[in-house]
Amino acid sequence: VPNVIFALALCRGDSNASACEGCLVTAFQDGQDNCPDSKDTTVYYNGNPCMLRFSNKNFLATTDNDKILVIATFASMEMPLNTSIRHDSFRFLLFTLLNNTAQSAANSSRRFTTSRLDVSSLPTVYCLMQCTPDLTADDCAACFHPYSSLTFKHMDDGKGGQILGTRCSMRYEIYPFFQGKPMLRIINLASAVPAINNTLPPVTVYPHRQSQPQSPVAAPPPPEAQASTQELHGM
Ligand SMILES: *[C@@H]1O[C@H](CO)[C@@H](O)[C@H](O)[C@H]1NC(C)=O
Ligand SMILES: *[C@@H]1O[C@H](CO)[C@@H](O)[C@H](O)[C@H]1NC(C)=O
Ligand SMILES: *[C@@H]1O[C@H](CO)[C@@H](O)[C@H](O)[C@H]1NC(C)=O
Ligand SMILES: *[C@@H]1O[C@H](CO)[C@@H](O)[C@H](O)[C@H]1NC(C)=O
């Protein structure tokens, strides 16, 4: 006192100890090199498996999830979502995946879940969600609450992406990207995709996208989504 630094580090739940340590050593250095005049720095990576924040403010006193960064995957491969039916189906299934994965992560002791959704007519979707393990199950679920809406707003085109926050993170892709087998295979269908909220938290989006047409997402699920979702067998 008065020179106090608060810090929070979190490694992705599927990373091993050496990858975690290596990432954090790099992150401490990168944070100082890239933000030399900042007293509140957060480091995220697109590839490396850790997050680091250090600050002169006691941000640990709350469970606020700020410094949210949205990274939309830049895919060279086009998803075959060429009809509106397919697009609606994909949104519906993506919501189902996010909602169930968030619930599972919140309810797990490590606040971490990987998942996979197999649907015959659409690409297999992989998802990973994680909260800092000091959050309660309720706080973790609340942290994920705006993430479905943010996903539909910024990366609903099936190319994947990440929402990174200091308290919870989400990533989905149409290829496997996490270590190990998915901890959750989705079998339940949600009743509907909720409408996008006007009250989303402030986020930084990368890469920047041109203003996109806002299409409603509250439409009832098209029949194709229900029909093509297969009952999955145990892990
Ligand atoms: C840890 O994970 C990294 C990255 O996945 C991998 O290259 C490395 O072999 C792993 N190390 C051990 C000891 O498992
Ligand atoms: C899942 O969706 C339902 C219905 O919209 C919502 O009430 C619930 O809070 C969601 N769960 C999570 C963890 O986001
Ligand atoms: C959460 O976990 C508890 C105990 O592990 C279990 O009884 C409960 O059914 C789970 N709830 C959900 C929504 O998965
Ligand atoms: C949307 O906003 C309402 C009121 O502003 C709030 O009660 C609700 O939880 C929000 N839903 C989401 C998904 O953030």
Q: What pTM, to 2 d.p., does this model score?
A: 0.81
Q: Which of 16, 24, 179 to mutate to test the pocket of ligand 1 (most atoms within 8 A of CB)?
A: 16
Atom of ligand 3 nearest to the CA of 107: 1
Q: Is the CB of 151 under 6 A from ligand 4?
A: no
Domain co-membership, 153 together with 119: yes
User: What is the whole-number distance in angstroms between the Cα of residue 197 and the centre of ligand 4?
Assistant: 6
Count up the domains in the chain and report the number.
2
Q: Give the whole-angstrom CA distance, residue 209 versus residue 230.
A: 34
Domain boundary among 42, 61, 80: 61
Q: What is the CA radius of gyration of the chain?
A: 18
Domain co-membership, 30 together with 137: no
Q: Is the CB of 181 under 6 A from ligand 2?
A: no
Domain co-membership, 131 together with 197: yes
Banded pLDDT at 230 (limits 50, 70, 90): very low
pLDDT tens, 3-45? Answer: 899 999 999 999 999 999 999 999 999 999 999 999 999 999 9
Q: Is the CB of 103 under 6 A from ligand 2?
A: yes
Pull the structure tokens for residue 119. Answer: 């649907």
Among protein residues, the one whose CA lies closest to atom 10 of ligand 2 = 99
pLDDT tens, 65-85? Answer: 989 999 988 765 555 555 555
Q: Is the CB of 109 under 6 A from ligand 4?
A: no
Q: Residue 77's pLDDT is what?
A: 54
Domain co-membership, 183 together with 87: yes
Q: Is the pLDDT of residue 234 over 60?
A: no
Q: Give the chain's mean pLDDT.
A: 82
Q: Give the whole-angstrom CA distance, residue 17 versus residue 75.
A: 30
Ligand nearest to the CA of 138: 2
pLDDT tens, 178-205? Answer: 999 999 998 656 566 667 667 778 887 8
User: What are the φ/ψ torsions at residue 89 (nearest 5 degrees)?
Assistant: -60, -45
Domain co-membership, 31 together with 121: no
Among protein residues, the one whose CA lies closest to atom 11 of ligand 3 = 107
Q: Give the whole-angstrom CA distance, residue 79 versus residue 222.
A: 19
Q: Where do we find the tokens 């850790």?
A: 50
Ligand nearest to the CA of 22: 1
pLDDT tens, 81-98? Answer: 555 556 777 788 888 899
Q: Residue 45's pLDDT is what?
A: 93
| Domain span including residue 25 | 6-61
Domain co-membership, 78 together with 115: yes
- Pick 145 or 122 by higher pLDDT: 145
Q: Residue 235's pLDDT is what?
A: 32
**Cβ–Cβ under 8 Å, residues 6 and 55:** yes
